[in-house]
Structure 1
Amino acid sequence: MPKEFTVPPVVFPSGATASTETTRGGGPATTNLQHRRVPTAPFQPPRPSSIPFMTFDIGSASASTSTFSNPSYPPPRHDAVSLSFLDEPPLLEELEISPTLIWRKTRSLLNPFRINSSLHEDPDLSGPFLYYMALGIFQLLAGKVQFGVILGWIALSSIFLYSVLNFLAGKNGNLDLYRCFSVVGYCLMPIVVFSAVRLFFPVTGAAGFAVAAVFVIWATRICSRLLVENAFGVSEYLGLTAYPCFLIYTLFSLLVMF
């Protein structure tokens, strides 16, 4: 009696499926071929050969390049830029600092008996600030840090003298606070010299007080003279103005000595 065998279906590459069944006797009975369509994805990107490339308009590109390279206005010239920098004023002049004027004012104060008050009609604070720093540096070399004390005393002294002179002058006075700061600062120059002398030649006792008195009288003389001529125009109140000036510069001399 012949046996029956069941052969599994064979999958072909083309997607067809062949199923063969054998009948009794060993021979194939039927052959069923079923063609199946392979499902495709819902979206497939196009082939590389079909990708569109960007195209450039050479004419428009050249026109835009020529427009950029040749504008309607001329390019800036380097010589004009250099001339504009050469026309700039110096830095000290922009800051309103005149070393020549500072030296002229200082030289006019070296002789307390011949003072040129016309130089101080144009006030400035660059020279006084230089004297403040010089006095502070000399005190620092002597082992005393007094920058804040010097600036504070100068401010209070200037405001005090400004108030006193305005009370004396009344409506006829023409002294402003800025000019008062300038005059008091420039007249601090003898005290700065005294500080330098005491740093290199430390004199104590009665000789030290005598040397300090010389510099205090020097500073008092030039400060009172300048303030009176700037505030009143006459020397009628010279004695009244000299007294507060003497007190102020005496305090600075004591600061240097002690």
Structure 2
Amino acid sequence: MEKQFKVPPVSFPSAGNPTMTGPNLQQRRLPTPPFQPNSGIPFMSFDIGSAAVSTSSGPIYSGPGIGGGSANFDDEEPLLDELGIHPDQIWSKIRSVLNPFRVNHTVHKDADLSGPILLYMSFCLFQLLAGKIQFGVILGWIVVSSIFLYVVFNMLAGRTGNLDLHTCTSVVGYSMLPVVIFSALSLFLPQGGFFGLAIAAVFVLWATRASTGLVVSLTDGGDEHRGLIAYACFLIYALFSLLVIF
């Protein structure tokens, strides 16, 4: 015997049935998403118009020195001074070496490497014009000669010697001016022979006298060892003159 169950009738609203037609039919609503971003926050709603309005209404930080107008560069130091290059000082030191009998040692108290580098590059350039590519050789000899004169002087002066390597490199570099002049003149003079050796000896003695006077004047305890210091300087500049001759 079958048992019957009573099922209550199911009624559908007219707005929820998409198949119903009639004058009272309403459009079907789309389900709302579970997260609805707030339109008042520009970076969440991606509302460009509201973002422009909100940013333009508040103050904008322009940083120090920007909001007050264009930057003032009148108080800035020149680029050469910031790099430690002083052309007037370099020229005065070069001019002091031109007179081998009266070298002004007061301008060489502040040692620098800008002038020596300029003279070294000039020497390399004149050697290159002569067909001799000796950049590496000249650079190596410069380092070795500076260390050599530094060690020799401090061994002679002992504890009273106050010659540092920076000052020694500056003195050796500025005293290279006669050798640089000799390398420039050698482009127009005949190479080799007694005449070339005599001219080279003159410029080597010039450089030796200038460097010896500077070392003795700028340091303590060098007067009694002037001859040995001059011999060391003579070896240094004779070595550089051999590059020009041969």
TM-score range, shorter chain: 0.7 to 0.9
Give the Å deviation of 1:75. Answer: 8.6
Cα separation, 2, equivalents of 1:117 and 1:226 = 6
Alpha carbons 1:127, 1:185 under 8 Å: kept: yes
Cα separation, 1, equivalents of 2:146 and 2:137 = 14
Cross-structure match for 2:236: 248
Tell which deviates more after alignment, 156-165 or 224-233: 224-233
Cross-structure match for 1:23: none
Give the Å deviation of 1:210. Answer: 0.4
Give the Å deviation of 1:199. Answer: 0.9
Give the Å deviation of 1:62. Answer: 8.7
Identical residues among aligned pairs (%): 56
Alpha carbons 2:122, 2:180 under 8 Å: kept: yes
Alpha carbons 2:160, 2:221 under 8 Å: kept: no
Please give the TM-score of this superposition, normalised by the length of structure 1.
0.73
Alpha carbons 1:169, 1:231 under 8 Å: kept: no
Cross-structure match for 1:207: 195
Cross-structure match for 1:228: 216
| Mapping for residues 58-207 of structure 1, pairs under 5 Å | 64-65=54-55, 67-69=57-59, 76-77=66-67, 79=69, 81-83=70-72, 85-207=73-195
Alpha carbons 2:191, 2:245 under 8 Å: kept: no
Q: CA RMSD in A?
A: 3.2
Alpha carbons 1:162, 1:175 under 8 Å: kept: yes
Higher relative contact order (CA 8 A, sep 6+): 2
Q: Which blocks of at least 5 consecutive residues in structure 1 are unaligned?
A: 1-37, 39-45
Alpha carbons 1:165, 1:231 under 8 Å: kept: no
Task: State how many pairs are aligned.
Answer: 213
Alpha carbons 2:109, 2:218 under 8 Å: kept: yes
Cα separation, 1, equivalents of 2:99 and 2:245 = 24
Give the Å deviation of 1:201. Answer: 2.4
Give the Å deviation of 1:225. Answer: 1.0
The C-alpha deviation readout for 1:20-44, integer Å capped at 9, x for no partner, is xxxxxxxxxxxxxxxxxx9xxxxxx
Alpha carbons 2:100, 2:209 under 8 Å: kept: yes
Cα separation, 2, equivalents of 1:189 and 1:48 = 96
Cα separation, 2, equivalents of 1:179 and 1:74 = 42
What is the identity, as a one-letter code, of the residue corresponding to 1:82? A
Give the Å deviation of 1:47. Answer: 5.2
Please give the TM-score of this superposition, normalised by the length of structure 2.
0.76
What is the identity, as a one-letter code, of the residue corresponding to 1:194? F
What is the identity, as a one-letter code, of the residue corresponding to 1:64? S
Give the Å deviation of 1:142. Answer: 0.5
The C-alpha deviation readout for 1:102-147, integer Å capped at 9, x for no partner, is 0000000100001111111100000000011000010001011001
CA pair 51-200 structure 1, distance change in 2 beyond 3 A: farther
